[in-house]
């Protein structure tokens, strides 16, 4: 098995863990971390799998991943601003439906 | 031997991912996540993608890490019940488990299928590289072949900053700089800033021939701005909304204008004239670097005031 | 200047965003309206270019696909581009009067980025470019939801953001698998090499789930009502009329381009079942709401269900029936955009009059604001699907297609859905005709607000009379591979 393909499988693992965490957690910061793991897993699959098909570095998916990383950072930063504002207003880091009867 | 290294890296990666999601303490979660970013950049080197390794270290681990840690400090006041992992009676747990396993199974099956791509896009890149104006293929793709993607991506960044501006404190009291007035730190930073700036410009310049480019350079620049802010140097510039906004759109404006000029000459949008492609790409990248640095810094700055809203209400 | 009209669809909105961020208060609004006019003219000239030369492609940066990104102008793209131009410009006019000065300052750049993202999605024929466009669209939409800055809308924005991010990643996972398998990102090229293997099935599965989550198809809909119902009125109109259509549009493109109806009949069936559930659940929930804007938001959920009925009706054998279903579905999309935007704007005016969100507070308004009630009613005619509206023609074509293929279940679902929508719309009406004791103390909305709402509702009716103009843009070759 080429090392490209090994990392594609690693990406699959990251995606699985990410999805599990994303659905399980109600704390918004943890959800955000899960989303980032999911993103990293996707990027690994994109580059690893395409390169294992060709057997050599492929610059197209690499460029796509660079774009993807920047978009992910923008989304993360935006989410953090919303979460912080929400926490400042309500003193909660979870959404109302997840706060339980307290 | 090499496979052993790869497998070890994967194990560390998955281990860190699990830890970062399921540690009780949120602070440790974030720490594990940042560590994971650093391991990821090693993985990218193993995948022969030095550009992504640089970006992952600077943006993925660096900027995201700073933002997460900073947010964490402000979320202390919130009610934080640690996650209860094995809530076997909760349907949510089973839904999560089912989806996670489903994703792994489906993707695993798809990845295990042998591949023989019909279209050799990578060959097309190398065939047309000579006409792109740069010699580094990734820069050629990002700023010439697929520059339209990059244009929209910069717009995404501006949007994120704009949301931060929307949510900032309504009454425009500037955030007071309540930071360490350390003389030594000041002196060091004055020394360091030109150097960080130089590193950033080098990354930008290098991008046309080797790994590097506007996004990595912009992230480095942003870290310099953040350092500046943390030791309490002048931030009036950043308090003024006009300077903030104009800084964000500087790069996008150059990009749109350079892209639109060929329209007047009867060429498609974003076409560079053959003779000047290299210079124009460098010009766009320079604008993008400055704007990206400024945007990432603004995100850090503005999220401060998004969460200080209630300070004056609490006794 | 052949390259101008198509590039203008991207350049003008981006210029609008730049201008609204850089200029001072007065010039911001003036320039925005100049650019809106330019975009409307631009759309018209693109339409004429299309009549002249038919479907054509435009290579961005003069790099043709698969190396570069190509935009494609065909009938479907044009219909959606014209639709967003109409709805967006009317909403901008409304917002200009309705929003406060601080809100308007932030509204403009979001609005322009939103429009740029929509146009980029309608035109793009590149899978990864569509991903970037989707992200731009989602972030702009989340920003617009958060514009009112209170805790409720923040919660709605957060819920929306997380759903949208998960959806985008699902789509991107699919793109990654498709690129690894076929080595191309260009949709037309992909369709030449496409065959349904295990990995491409998984890829399309992830893409569809992600996109349907962004469209708020049952059962992944729970983020929509608070976001659309809680946002500022012009924002609700933009979100319900345009934003959810974008992700659905990509599903429709993938489906017809890759001829998925030939590859798998059960997938189409599954989409139909989800759609039916959405129609019935959305209609039932709309009937049980106490807030006016939530009624309209749940009605959007139900309407999305009708669009989903296109998929089971695309048949691998009966080209004529497929064509009818496709035309009917697109007509419903268009009618819904006009009618729902008009309905939200009219509802915003009614809420402005009474100052409360509750349906009960509408009592007496039919006497006080007959023009506004008329605007709401005309939009309702199209949503219910009564003749002579765009909604009626769309439903009629869908029913015809189902009858040709003897798929009676869908006919039954469409009729039941129409009855439900009639019920929840007349329920709103009945509240406005009630009389309360004591004098009415209503505020009066500006005339512009009422006329803009009315103009969209009237357009949704006119669409019923001029459906052929739209349907002519969708020849049979747009849906059935030759």
**Do the beta carbons of residue C158 and residue A28 sit within 8 Å?**
yes
d(CA C149, CA A85): 9
**Do the beta carbons of residue B218 and residue B296 sit within 8 Å?**
yes
Average of per-residue pLDDT across B39-47: 94
State how far residue C169 is from chain B, nearest Cα, in angstroms.
12
User: Looking up tokens 């008329």, which residue turns up?
Assistant: C374
3-state secondary structure of C56: strand
Tokens of B264: 């007047």
**Do the beta carbons of residue B187 and residue B112 sit within 8 Å?**
no
d(CA B33, CA B64): 10
Option in B48, B101, B138 nearest A63 (CB): B138
Nearest residue on chain C to A22, alpha-carbon basis: C166
* pLDDT tens track for B220-259: 999 888 877 777 665 566 667 888 888 899 999 999 999 9
At residue A102, the pLDDT reads: 41
At residue B169, the pLDDT reads: 62
Average of per-residue pLDDT across C40-60: 93
At residue C135, the pLDDT reads: 96
Share the mean pLDDT of chain C: 92
At residue B295, the pLDDT reads: 93
* Burial classification of residue C240, based on how many CB atoms lie within 10 Å of its CB (0-12 exposed, 13-18 middle, 19 or more buried): buried
* pLDDT tens track for B161-202: 999 988 876 544 445 555 556 777 777 777 888 888 888 989
At residue C150, the pLDDT reads: 87
Which of C59-73, C122-136, C236-250 bottoms out in mean pLDDT, i.e. has the lowest? C59-73
d(CA C142, CA C157): 5
Suggest the residue from C15, C16, C19, C60 to mutate for an interface test with chain B (most B CBs closer than 10 A).
Answer: C60
**Do the beta carbons of residue C47 and residue C8 sit within 8 Å?**
no
Share the mean pLDDT of chain B: 84
CB contact under 8 A, A35 and C166: yes
CB contact under 8 A, B115 and C135: no
Count of CB atoms situated within 10 Å of the CB of B161: 28
With 90 as the cut, is the pLDDT of residue C329 above it? yes
Given CB atoms, is A13 within the 8 Å cutoff of chain C? no
d(CA C252, CA C241): 17
CB contact under 8 A, B17 and A18: yes
Average of per-residue pLDDT across C211-236: 93
d(CA C374, CA C380): 9
Per-residue pLDDT tens listing for chain A (102 residues) = 688 999 999 999 999 999 999 999 888 999 999 999 999 999 999 999 999 988 889 999 999 999 999 999 999 999 999 999 998 888 888 888 777 544
Residue C334 lies in a domain: yes
d(CA C168, CA C134): 7
Burial C153-177 (b: 16+ CB within 10 A, else e): bbbbbbbbbbbbbbbbbbbbbbbbb
At residue C412, the pLDDT reads: 95
At residue B19, the pLDDT reads: 94
With 70 as the cut, is the pLDDT of residue B82 above it? no
User: Looking up tokens 């590289």, which residue turns up?
Assistant: B129
At residue C461, the pLDDT reads: 94
**Do the beta carbons of residue C144 and residue C239 sit within 8 Å?**
yes
Option in C139, C172, C185 nearest A42 (CB): C172
Phi, psi of A92 (to 5 degrees): -125, 150
At residue C44, the pLDDT reads: 95
At residue B314, the pLDDT reads: 36
**Do the beta carbons of residue C136 and residue B252 sit within 8 Å?**
no
Chains interfacing with B (3 or more CB pairs < 8 Å): A, C
Sign of CA dihedral C201, C207, C210, C212: negative
**Do the beta carbons of residue C233 and residue C376 sit within 8 Å?**
no
Count of CB atoms situated within 10 Å of the CB of B116: 9
Contact residues, C window 30-89, toward B, CB-based 8 Å cutoff: 58-63, 66-69
State how far residue B192 is from chain C, nearest Cα, in angstroms.
32
**Do the beta carbons of residue B272 and residue B133 sit within 8 Å?**
yes
Average of per-residue pLDDT across B284-293: 94
Which of C57-66, C80-89, C395-404 bottoms out in mean pLDDT, i.e. has the lowest? C57-66
For residue B227, is the peptide bond before it cis, meaning its omega torsion is within 30 degrees of 0?
no
Domain spanning A3-96: CATH 3.40.605.10? no
Domain residue limits at C442: 262-482
Nearest residue on chain B to A45, alpha-carbon basis: B111
At residue C437, the pLDDT reads: 66
* pLDDT tens track for C71-114: 999 999 999 999 999 999 999 999 999 998 888 999 999 999 99
CB contact set of C437 (below 8 Å; sequence gap of 6+):
none
CB contact set of A32 (below 8 Å; sequence gap of 6+):
A76, A79, A80, A83, B68
Residue C370 lies in a domain: yes
* pLDDT tens track for C141-162: 999 999 988 888 999 999 999 9
With 60 as the cut, is the pLDDT of residue C125 above it? yes
Name the band, by pLDDT with cuts 50, 70 and 90, for residue B2. Answer: confident
d(CA B142, CA C194): 27
Contacts of residue A49 in chain B, CB cutoff 8 Å?
111, 115
**Do the beta carbons of residue C396 and residue C470 sit within 8 Å?**
no
At residue B173, the pLDDT reads: 47
Tokens of C161: 């953001």
With a pLDDT cut of 90, the percent of chain C lying above it is: 74
**Do the beta carbons of residue C240 and residue C340 sit within 8 Å?**
yes
With 70 as the cut, is the pLDDT of residue B95 above it? yes
Phi, psi of C290 (to 5 degrees): -105, -10
d(CA B121, CA C66): 7
Which of B275-284, C166-175, C336-345 bottoms out in mean pLDDT, i.e. has the lowest? B275-284
Which of A47-61, B28-42, B119-133, B243-257 bottoms out in mean pLDDT, i.e. has the lowest? B119-133
Tally of domains in chain C: 1
Name the band, by pLDDT with cuts 50, 70 and 90, for residue C231. Answer: very high
Name the band, by pLDDT with cuts 50, 70 and 90, for residue B84. Answer: low
Helix axes C75-98, C101-123, angle to 10 degrees: 180
Nearest to B34 by CA among A49, A76, C165: A76
* Burial classification of residue C188, based on how many CB atoms lie within 10 Å of its CB (0-12 exposed, 13-18 middle, 19 or more buried): middle
At residue B61, the pLDDT reads: 81
Average of per-residue pLDDT across C400-420: 94
With a pLDDT cut of 70, the percent of chain C lying above it is: 99
At residue C432, the pLDDT reads: 85
Domain ranges of chain A: 3-96
């Amino acid at each position: 098995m080429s090392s490209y393909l090994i990392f594609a499988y690693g990406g699959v693992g990251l995606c699985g863990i990410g999805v599990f965490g994303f659905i399980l957690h109600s704390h918004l910061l943890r959800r955000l971390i899960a989303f980032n793991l999911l993103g990293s897993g996707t990027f690994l699959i994109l580059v690893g799998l395409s390169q294992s098909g060709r057997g050599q570095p492929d610059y197209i998916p690499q460029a796509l991943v660079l774009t993807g990383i920047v978009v992910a950072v923008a989304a993360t930063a935006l989410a953090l601003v919303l979460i912080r504002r929400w926490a400042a207003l309500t003193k909660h880091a979870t959404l109302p439906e997840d706060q339980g009867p307290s | 031997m090499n496979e052993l290294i790869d497998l070890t890296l994967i194990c560390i990666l998955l281990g860190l991912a699990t830890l970062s999601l399921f540690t009780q303490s949120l602070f440790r979660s974030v720490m594990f996540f940042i560590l994971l970013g650093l391991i990821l950049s090693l993985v990218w080197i193993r995948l022969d993608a030095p550009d992504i390794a640089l970006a992952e270290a600077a943006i993925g681990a660096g900027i995201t890490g700073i933002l997460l840690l900073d947010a964490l400090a402000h979320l202390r006041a919130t009610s934080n019940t640690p996650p209860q992992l094995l809530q076997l009676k909760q349907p949510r747990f089973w839904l999560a488990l089912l989806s996670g396993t489903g994703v792994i199974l489906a993707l695993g099956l798809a990845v295990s299928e042998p591949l023989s791509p019909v279209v050799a896009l990578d060959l097309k890149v190398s065939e047309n590289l000579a006409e792109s104006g740069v010699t580094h293929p990734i820069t050629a793709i990002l700023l010439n072949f697929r520059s339209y993607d990059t244009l929209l991506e910069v717009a995404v960044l501006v949007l994120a900053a704009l949301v931060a501006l929307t949510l900032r404190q309504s009454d425009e009291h500037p955030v007071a700089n309540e930071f360490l007035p350390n003389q030594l730190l000041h002196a060091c930073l004055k020394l360091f800033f030109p150097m960080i700036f130089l590193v950033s410009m080098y990354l930008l310049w290098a991008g046309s021939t080797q790994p590097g480019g506007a996004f990595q350079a912009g992230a480095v620049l942003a870290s310099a701005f953040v350092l500046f802010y943390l030791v309490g140097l002048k931030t009036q510039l950043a308090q003024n909304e006009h300077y903030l906004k104009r800084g964000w759109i500087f790069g996008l404006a150059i990009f749109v204008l350079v892209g639109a000029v060929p329209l007047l000459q009867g060429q498609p949008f974003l076409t560079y004239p053959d003779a000047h492609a290299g210079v124009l790409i460098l010009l766009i990248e320079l604008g993008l670097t400055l704007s990206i640095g400024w945007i990432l810094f603004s995100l850090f700055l503005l999220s401060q005031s998004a969460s200080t809203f209630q300070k004056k209400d609490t006794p | 200047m052949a390259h101008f009209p198509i590039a203008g669809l991207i350049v003008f909105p981006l210029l609008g965003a730049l201008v609204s961020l850089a200029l001072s208060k007065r010039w911001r609004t003036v320039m925005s309206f100049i650019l809106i006019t330019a975009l409307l003219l631009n759309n018209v000239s693109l339409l004429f270019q299309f009549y002249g030369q038919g479907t054509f492609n435009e290579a961005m940066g003069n790099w043709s696909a698969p190396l570069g990104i190509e935009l494609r102008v065909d009938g479907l793209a044009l219909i959606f581009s014209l639709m967003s131009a109409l709805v967006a410009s009317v909403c901008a006019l409304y917002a200009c009067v309705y929003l406060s000065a601080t809100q308007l300052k932030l509204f403009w750049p979001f609005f322009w980025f939103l429009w740029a993202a929509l146009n980029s999605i309608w035109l793009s024929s590149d899978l990864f470019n569509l991903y970037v466009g989707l992200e731009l669209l989602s972030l702009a939409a989340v920003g617009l939801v958060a514009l009112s800055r209170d805790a409720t809308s923040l919660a709605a924005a957060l819920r929306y953001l997380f759903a949208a991010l998960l959806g985008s990643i699902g789509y991107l996972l699919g793109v990654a698998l498709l690129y690894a398998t076929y080595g191309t990102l260009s949709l037309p090229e992909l369709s030449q090499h496409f065959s349904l293997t295990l990995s491409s099935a998984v890829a399309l599965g992830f893409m569809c789930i992600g996109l349907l989550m962004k469209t708020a198809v049952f059962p992944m809909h729970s983020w929509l009502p608070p976001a659309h119902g809680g946002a500022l009125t012009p924002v609700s109109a933009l979100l319900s009329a345009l934003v959810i259509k974008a992700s659905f549009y990509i599903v429709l493109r993938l489906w017809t381009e890759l001829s998925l109806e030939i590859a798998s009949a059960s997938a189409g069936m599954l989409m139909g079942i989800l759609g039916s559930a959405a129609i019935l659940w959305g209609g039932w929930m709309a009937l049980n709401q106490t807030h006016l804007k939530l009624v309209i938001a749940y009605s959007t959920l139900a309407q999305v269900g009708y669009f989903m009925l296109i998929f089971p009706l695309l048949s691998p054998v009966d080209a004529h029936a497929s064509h009818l279903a496709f035309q009917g579905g697109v007509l419903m999309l268009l009618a819904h955009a006009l009618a729902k935007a008009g309905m939200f704007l009219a509802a915003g005016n009614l809420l402005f009059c009474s100052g409360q969100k509750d349906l009960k507070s509408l009592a007496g308004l039919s006497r006080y604001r007959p023009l506004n009630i008329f605007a709401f009613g005309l939009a309702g005619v199209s949503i219910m699907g009564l003749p002579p509206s765009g909604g009626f023609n769309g439903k009629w074509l869908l029913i015809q297609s189902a009858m040709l293929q003897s798929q009676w279940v869908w006919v039954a679902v469409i009729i039941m859905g129409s009855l439900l929508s009639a019920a929840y719309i007349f329920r709103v009406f009945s509240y406005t005709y009630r009389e309360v004791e004591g004098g009415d103390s209503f505020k009066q909305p500006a005339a512009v607000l009422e006329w803009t709402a009315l103009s969209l509702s009237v357009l949704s009716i006119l669409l019923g009379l001029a459906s052929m103009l739209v349907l002519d843009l969708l020849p049979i070759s747009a849906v059935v591979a030759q």
